[in-house]
Every structure is written in C-alpha cells, then in structure tokens.
C-alpha cells in the first residue's frame, strides 16, 4: 500500500479517536437517560424560581388596573408580555415600560395578509395619517384598555350619533371622525386624551392656535391643527361646544 494512503488512514483514525474522546468528555452523563435531552435539566428547571407570574399576581400590586384591563380589548394580554418578567414587584410599584412602543405593538398589529380580519392592523407610515411618521401608539391609545375594534370600520363609523343637542350645529364637521380616534366618538375624552364635549368654542380655537404656533407642544396635535383651515377649526369649536359634557369614557 502506498505510503501516502497509510498516512491518510492514520490521520483519519486520529480524527475519529479525537472525536470519540471529545464526545465522551463533553456529553452530559444524564443525556439520553429518558430521551434525546439532558435528564438533569428537568429537576433544575423545577427547582428554579419562577419569573413568569401571570397578571393575577401583578394586579395585587396595581389595583388601579383592575378597573380597566380586565374589561378592555387587551384583557387576554398578560402583563409580562409588554412589561417583561421580574422576580417581584419593584419597590416603587412601577413596572419597566417598553422602550420601543411601536415595535412592541406592531408585533401583533402590523398589517399582514396571514392575520385574521378581526385583528386590528395598521400600515406604518399610513397610520394615523398617510405619509406621516407614526407616533408612539400610546399617544392615542391606552395600552391597558384600548377601544374595541370593529372589522371594516371606517372614519365615518367613528362620528358621534344621537348625542347632539337640539341647539347643536346642523352638520357634523368632516374632521370630527379624526378627532374621535383620540378624544372619543362623543368627544368624551379617552384616558390620557382630554374631553372636548362642552368645551367653550373660544377656548377650543385658542388651544388650536397655540398648537399651530408651537406654544403648546404636541407633535400629533400640531400636525393635525396645521392641516385644518380657519373655517374647519371654527366648525369644530362650535360642534364640540354644543355636545353634552361629562359623558362616560
């Protein structure tokens, strides 16, 4: 047999021997005791301190959430899905908040063909207004109790109906449907967003002008206000002034 063939066989044999030694040395003794996994991992996991506690545990520390989260559209979303896990509730009672709100929310709500039609979905860049930057979702939506969503709903479906008093304006301004997204169908306000119903027309106009000038800082409101004409702002002011105030959220 040629010498180079013998050298090749010796080299291959050395590799096989080295691989066998490595397998014996690196393979855990409990591997394949019950199957193709490390058997000791079962007892180790059982002895570990659980980090995922479920929403029932966190509601004990945050009673303020018992009034909105269990009845909202996110009632099936557990606290740790958004806030992450922790061994116990922080001393200050404040759970860590996600840094990238848009990325977190679009995990479930980014428009995809495979998602069911009843799942609320958005297209980044088109929400809330086409061609504009998408603001953090909690700017308009309360993450603990977002509004229920009706598949196929349009802006027209958000217009208030049946709540305008007899002395109110005859025509509902077209911009009301956009206001309703953040301030409620009847101008009653939604969580962090103030109520508009019953607000004096002069006060409404003054605030809109402050947003336009930049004296009041709000990126979303500044864009919205600057897109309206003077006549549209006046129509909205009169409309909301004539809506009954103190409606439930």
pLDDT tens track for 68-105: 788 778 888 888 888 888 777 776 667 777 888 999 99
Q: What pLDDT score was predicted for residue 106? A: 92
215, HSE (Cβ side, Cα atoms, 13 Å): 6
Q: Does residue 144 sit in the same domain as residue 163?
A: no
> Is 51 in contact with 72 (CB distance < 8 Å)?
no
Look at residues 148, 167, 194 and tell me which one is the last residue of a structural domain: 148
Q: Does residue 122 sit in the same domain as residue 199?
A: no
Q: Does residue 207 sit in the same domain as residue 244?
A: yes
Q: What pLDDT score was predicted for residue 93? A: 64
Look at residues 148, 179, 210 and tell me which one is the last residue of a structural domain: 148
Question: What CATH number should be reported for the domain holding residue 198?
Answer: 1.10.760.10
Say if residue 164's pLDDT is above 80. no
Q: Does residue 188 sit in the same domain as residue 200?
A: yes
What is the number of structural domains in the chain? Answer: 3
Q: Does residue 122 sit in the same domain as residue 162?
A: no
Q: Does residue 168 sit in the same domain as residue 197?
A: yes
Q: What pLDDT score was predicted for residue 168? A: 40
CA distance 210 to 137: 24
Say if residue 161's pLDDT is above 50. no
Mean pLDDT across 120-136: 82
Q: What pLDDT score was predicted for residue 155? A: 44
Q: Does residue 41 sit in the same domain as residue 71?
A: no
Comparing 49 with 124, the larger pLDDT belongs to 124
Say if residue 162's pLDDT is above 50. no
Contacts 24+ apart (CB under 8 A), 207-212: 208/233, 208/236, 208/237
Domain carrying residue 68? 49-148
CA distance 138 to 128: 12
Say if residue 165's pLDDT is above 50. no
Q: Does residue 57 sit in the same domain as residue 134?
A: yes
Q: Does residue 65 sit in the same domain as residue 119?
A: yes
Look at residues 148, 177, 212 and tell me which one is the last residue of a structural domain: 148
Q: Does residue 54 sit in the same domain as residue 123?
A: yes
Q: Does residue 92 sit in the same domain as residue 116?
A: yes
Say if residue 233's pLDDT is above 80. yes
């Amino acid at each position: 047999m040629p010498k180079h063939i013998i050298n090749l066989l010796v080299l291959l044999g050395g590799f096989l021997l080295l691989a066998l030694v490595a397998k014996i040395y690196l393979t855990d003794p409990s591997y394949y005791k019950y199957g193709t996994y490390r058997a000791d991992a079962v007892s180790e996991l059982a002895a570990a301190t659980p980090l995922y506690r479920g929403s029932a545990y966190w509601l004990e520390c945050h009673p303020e959430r018992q009034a909105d989260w269990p009845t909202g559209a996110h009632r099936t979303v557990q606290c740790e899905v958004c806030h992450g896990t922790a061994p116990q509730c922080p001393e200050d009672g404040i759970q860590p908040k996600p840094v990238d709100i848009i990325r977190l929310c679009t995990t479930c709500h980014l428009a995809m063909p495979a998602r069911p039609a009843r799942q609320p979905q958005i297209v980044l860049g088109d929400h809330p207004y086409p061609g504009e930057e998408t603001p953090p979702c909690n700017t308009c939506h309360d993450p603990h109790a977002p509004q229920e969503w009706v598949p196929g709903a349009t802006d027209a479906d958000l217009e208030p109906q049946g709540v305008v008093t007899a002395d109110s304006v005859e025509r509902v301004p077209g911009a009301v449907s956009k206001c309703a997204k953040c301030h409620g169908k009847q101008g009653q306000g939604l969580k962090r967003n103030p109520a508009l119903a019953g607000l004096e027309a002069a006060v409404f106009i003054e605030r809109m002008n402050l947003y336009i000038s930049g004296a009041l800082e709000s990126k979303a409101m500044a864009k919205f206000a600057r897109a309206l004409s003077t006549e549209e702002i006046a129509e909205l002011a009169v409309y909301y002034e004539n809506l009954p105030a103190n409606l439930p959220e």
